[in-house]
Structure 1
């Protein structure tokens, strides 16, 4: 049985991983390529969101911090898009990016306004975020297979970032699709395991991939 203490410990371990990734990126910032610099910004943004979401519940005693999901999604997708624009080097991707980000941000902001004060997930925003993440990773893997000259994948930073992001997005997509159903009809223990613990484990994998990408030096 999953206890609240176990969940809290796992959550703070995940926060520690992304804080470490941010510190690694900050320490090596001048030596990093532009793509990895955006990853450093992404890691720092995740630290801010993680700490803010906890503060809203424990310090300000709000009933829910779920309204942060669309706001976090805009920052995550935007920073990841900028990082992958540098890695992919695709003119078509660069041209489409402002339209994609503009439409996504507008919709996410509308969801934020509509969801203020509501104790519910914003599944459509989460689904869109996960699909965009999978799209970024898919384009990278496609480029890796067809264009990049990489002799050892384990030495390629964005391979680990994309692998971690793919695992996270695929798992989070399932949670997003069934989250409201679980909140309304599932038991408290089931909600704690599926929505909380499983998602934290997925974040741990995602953040670990980010930290590894910032730690490694890209092949020349």
Structure 2
């Protein structure tokens, strides 16, 4: 019994060694994979055809295309779809104008302390470097702009602008100022407008008109 077990173990070991030897020979005879080098250790050069997509078969704009029932290669978007970068709100919200194209007078969002704090945060990041923390145009960037300084937002004429006009300046840009539509969501743009209007009201409000608690705090914080 013991002799039979030893013979079986020896036969299994021989088969295992033979399998390893065959696998080694197969690996040595197989060609090297692209990019891994050959058996000598020399790295293989990978040739990349960078122009393959340029010369591939394709349709050009306005070309006839037999694969479509109407024979046109230029396709219309499926009915009911909207591009992911297109917002389909009312023009009062997305453009700052009413149905007749006039600027809206009010921010079309519910305003509370949280909205104003959000507007202040976005204003301090994107607007204050040029227009100043207080909106008065006193800023480090303004000092370096000798030909045309950023305007004050809290004095005439901008202090009299309707909310929609302020929104459009943020949305599409104005003069030397670029559009901030890529940086601020629609709601954030209106939050900035609301905060700018708060700065304007603070600029024109007398201390005596403030509630006692607010007046006391203002007097303690003002220089």
Q: TM-score range by the shorter chain?
A: under 0.3
> TM-score scaled to structure 1, two decimals?
0.23
Pick the structure with more helix per residue.
Answer: 1
> TM-score scaled to structure 2, two decimals?
0.23
Higher relative contact order (CA 8 A, sep 6+): 1
